[in-house]
Every structure is written in structure tokens, then in C-alpha cells.
Amino acid sequence: MKIFIFSDIHGDTRAVDRILAQPADVYIAAGDLSTFGRALERSAEALKPLGNKLWLLPGNHETHAQTRALCDRYGYVDFHRQVRQLESAQGATWWTGLGYSNPTPFNTPGEYSEEEIADALAAFDGHKPLYLVVHFPPRGTKLDEVGPGHHAGSSTLRTWVERVQPEFLFCGHIHEGAGLQDQIGATQCFNVGKQGYGIEI
């Protein structure tokens, strides 16, 4: 089974064309189809061919109410704060999704406090092997560096990953980190960006 994860389309339908050309069994949109809600409908319409093969998270540029409405309209799967099971050659794998971001300087509509992030992540404890898809990266990695030595990820997410050690973490949000990977303990971490990242299980 192949899963293709992507993030931060921000209305770029050419990026959607490239995503649609990638064969996969499940596609996960890790947030920010829009910019402050603009072009959200255009992006959703472009992804329409995927139907229920698309699992959708809200980024910090859209609300959960907006992405939930798109799921209702286009048949996408609402993946925000959800746990889903996929079968692999080695048995069941657990996939968990968390949208929004930690606080930003831009007052975007989809932001959680670090305390709210902790509450959301607590619901994912106890699932193994765990594959975590979040919109925002953990702090202090290659994935969240917005400039030399300047990190904008979530310290709460970093602490949780250090403790739980999921197999994989996939994120977006920080455009400067798109396409980069890093490791936290045994957890392989990827900032998938709008180019996306495919994984076989």
C-alpha cells in the first residue's frame, strides 16, 4: 500500500496536478490548501478526483469547520484529531492526524496553544506502530528552521515525539524546511511540502 502525503498547496493548482499524477492508495493533505481561506474552494475542487482516498487536515490558514465542510461536499475523509488503521505487509499500522499549528506572529485562523497541542496529542498515546501526520513541525529540527538558528516549531510536539517515538512524523507549515528530513531518536521526520512524499507500507 502506498500513501502520499503533501502540504501547503496555498491555491497552487499546478502542484495539485503533480499530486494527482502520483499513484497512491491514500493521499493525505497535511493542511494549508489556502492562504487565509482564499483559494480553498479552488484547491478542493482540483483535488476532487481523489474522493475518499484523500484524508484532509486543516492547516493554520483554514479552520476545521471549513475543511470538514469540504469533506462533506467532496467525500474526503476528515482526518483532524483522528486515528485510522491501515494494513501493511507486517500487520496493522496506526495513522494519526493533527491539523492547525502552534502560535504564529500572523494571527492565522488555525492555531493551537502549546497546551491545546498537548491535549490533542495525548489522545494518540498507546498506538503502535504509529505514523503521525501533523501540519506543524517539532521544534529544533531542520524541518522548522525559518532562518539560520531560528526555529518556529512546537516544543510540545518535540517533547511528545521524544517520549512516544512514533515510526514516522510527516509535517509541512514551514516552507523553508520543505523537502528536508531529520530524526528525533528513532523517529524519522519529514517536512513534505507541496512536492509531497510517498511511503510504502
Burial label, 181 (beta-carbon count in 10 A; 0-12, 13-18, 19+): middle
Assign 50 a pLDDT band (cuts: 50, 70, 90).
very high
Assign 6 a pLDDT band (cuts: 50, 70, 90).
very high
Return the pLDDT at 52. 98
Query: 70 lies in which domain range?
Result: 2-200
Assign 60 a pLDDT band (cuts: 50, 70, 90).
very high
Helices and strands in the chain, H and E counts: 5, 13
The reported pTM is 0.97
Q: Give the residue-averaged pLDDT of 34-54.
A: 97
Q: Give the residue-averaged pLDDT of 12-19.
A: 97
- Which residues, in sequence order, are CB contacts of 49 under 8 Å at separation 6+? 20
Please confirm whether the linkage preceding 129 is cis (ω < 30° from 0): yes
Domain count, the chain: 1
Return the pLDDT at 90. 84
Per-residue pLDDT of 110-136, as tens digits, reads 999 999 999 999 999 999 999 999 999
Arithmetic mean of pLDDT over the chain: 97
CATH number at residue 63: 3.60.21.10
Q: Phi and psi (nearest 5°) for 101?
A: -140, 170
